[in-house]
Amino acid sequence: AQKVTQAQTEISVVEKEDVTLDCVYETRDTTYYLFWYKQPPSGELVFLIRRNSFDEQNEISGRYSWNFQKSTSSFNFTITASQVVDSAVYFCALSEARAGKSTFGDGTTLTVKP
């Protein structure tokens, strides 16, 4: 069975601080995908990144970066120089490679204060 754990329920930072959201996963599959989604107060889910289990390269996109470590089954997400607009619930998710069965973590609520 697949499982995704986001141990941090809530994080509060002051604007311009860096913040890392942790994600640990469990799966028996050798091929799988990992994702991060953002759910702002407006409610819709916004795709941020997908990572293939064979690709352990870290990725940077603007102020966002992701650290995938297969050895520790972790896929952490860092926001550099956080902004108030980053305030949202962030979900880490894991899916089978072939079909769309996915498992989401419980989410981390990030509050960035001015």
Could you list the residues that contact other proteins (CB under 8 A)?
33, 35, 43-47, 50, 91, 95-107
The amino acid occupying position 104 is F
Nearest to 111 by CA among 77, 83, 69, 70: 83
Q: Which is nearer to other proteins, 19 or 94 (CB)?
A: 94
Secondary structure letter of residue 8 according to DSSP: -
| DSSP β-ladder status, 88-96 and 108-113 | antiparallel
Residue 68 CB, nearest distance to other proteins (Å)? 16
Least distance to other proteins from the beta carbon of 16, Å? 29
Decide whether 13 or 45 has the Cβ nearer to other proteins. Answer: 45
Query: CA 35: distance to chain centroid?
Result: 6
| Cβ nearer to other proteins, comparing 11 with 45 | 45
CA atoms within 13 A on the CB side of 31: 3
Output 50 or 113, the one with its CB closest to other proteins.
50
CB of 70 to other proteins, least distance (A): 19
Rounded to a whole number of angstroms, the minimum distance from the CB of residue 50 to other proteins is: 6
